[in-house]
């Protein structure tokens, strides 16, 4: 990990201003978001934290152990970020924190309106690119290694939140926040952000269909059945789905199956025929052709590489 991954420039609280030695919180409220800086100066365990909006946390100094989604705890270190959906409980341990080795972390909670507006803009201007880009093995990954671009905009946003004093502060922060959202959409966090956006759109009907597709990806899915899940006519569903997600429902199903197949190939240990069936394809010739079109090589060549 290079220094480009790290965030700098966050001031420490003066010792006489600390209200607590565990997760002492300093808050900067802006339009569409709230910037929180947390400092911990002594070891602690099972500290709970919840936000009502989607929150981006970024580790600045020291080490935490983060517990999320009932999964095993993981080390959370500088140069990394974690994105957490609304109302999700974070349980945090501070095994190494002490007065001369404190931890420092930011938590940026982002309003639903900002997420919705940003994704509306992305879908309008870059819908095909945003919705079909590949983001790695685990598309629900929430633990991120900061890219240089992401670190730069987080640094800039912190500077605006903490130090900017002009009357245009909220406008400047809003523009920076939109850029931050776009940078996040270019990371593995895209899937979670996209899910949050979908839950706001179209009375949740499309969100339900997307969830149904993901849960039944190996089943025989067709346009009529998906339209029925959305409680829409086939023509209305097709038009609405394409308008909102930038592709037809069956194109979406195909790409989800190909992503799943790619995951199985990366894991290894499966025959191509097995991967085809496990990914929802009932014709191996079609699977091989579609995979090559999407990823530039046949499944067997991809697996060897």
Residue where the block lists tokens 């197949």: 261
Predicted model pTM: 0.57
What confidence score (pLDDT) does residue 150 get? 80
What confidence score (pLDDT) does residue 127 get? 46
- Tell me the C-alpha distance between 106 and 124, whole Å: 31
CB 182 within 8 A of CB 170: no
Q: What are the residues facing 22 on neighbouring strands?
A: none
- Tell me the C-alpha distance between 242 and 225, whole Å: 16
CB 83 within 8 A of CB 193: yes
What confidence score (pLDDT) does residue 292 get? 92
Q: What is the DSSP string of 141-176?
A: --EEEPPHHHHHHHHHHHHHHHH--STTHHHHHHHH
- Tell me the C-alpha distance between 51 and 49, whole Å: 7
What confidence score (pLDDT) does residue 138 get? 34
pLDDT, block means (10 residues), the chain with 305 residues = 55 74 86 89 92 89 90 87 88 92 90 80 55 33 74 85 84 86 66 56 66 89 91 86 80 92 89 93 94 91 86
Q: What is the DSSP string of 191-229?
A: HHHHHHHHHHSGGGHHHHHHHHHHHTTTS---HHHHHHH
Encoded tokens for 198: 């979908």
Considering only CA atoms, which of 143, 174, 167, 163 is closest in space to residue 79?
Answer: 143
Encoded tokens for 238: 């097709």
Burial (CB < 10 A; 0-12, 13-18, 19+), residue 39, is: buried
What confidence score (pLDDT) does residue 38 get? 92
Encoded tokens for 178: 């939109």
């Amino acid at each position: 990990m290079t220094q480009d991954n790290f965030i700098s420039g966050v001031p420490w609280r003066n010792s006489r201003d600390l209200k607590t030695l565990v997760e002492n919180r300093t808050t900067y409220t802006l339009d569409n978001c709230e910037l929180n800086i947390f400092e911990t100066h002594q070891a602690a365990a099972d500290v709970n934290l919840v936000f009502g909006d989607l929150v981006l946390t970024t580790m600045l100094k020291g080490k935490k152990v983060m517990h999320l989604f009932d999964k095993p705890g993981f080390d959370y270190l500088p140069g990394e970020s974690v994105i957490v959906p609304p109302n999700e409980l974070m349980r945090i341990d501070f095994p190494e924190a002490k007065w001369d080795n404190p931890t420092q972390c930011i938590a940026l909670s982002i309003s639903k309106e900002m997420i919705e507006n940003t994704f509306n803009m992305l879908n309008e201007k870059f819908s095909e690119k945003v919705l079909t880009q590949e983001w790695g093995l685990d598309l629900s990954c929430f633990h991120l290694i900061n890219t240089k671009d992401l670190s730069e905009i987080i640094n800039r946003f912190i500077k605006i939140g903490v130090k900017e004093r002009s009357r245009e502060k909220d406008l400047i922060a809003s523009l920076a926040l939109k850029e931050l959202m776009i940078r996040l959409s270019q990371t593995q966090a895209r899937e979670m952000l996209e899910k949050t956006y979908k839950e706001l759109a179209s009375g949740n009907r499309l969100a339900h269909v997307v969830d149904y597709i993901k849960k039944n990806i190996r089943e025989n899915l067709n346009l009529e059945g998906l339209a029925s899940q959305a409680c829409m006519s086939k023509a209305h569903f097709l038009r609405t789905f394409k308008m909102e997600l930038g592709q037809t429902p069956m194109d979406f199903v195909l790409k989800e199956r190909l992503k799943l197949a790619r995951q199985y190939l990366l894991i290894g240990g499966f025959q191509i025929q097995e991967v085809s069936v496990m990914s929802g394809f009932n014709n191996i010739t079609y699977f091989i052709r579609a995979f090559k079109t999407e990823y530039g090589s046949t499944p067997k060549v991809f697996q060897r590489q």
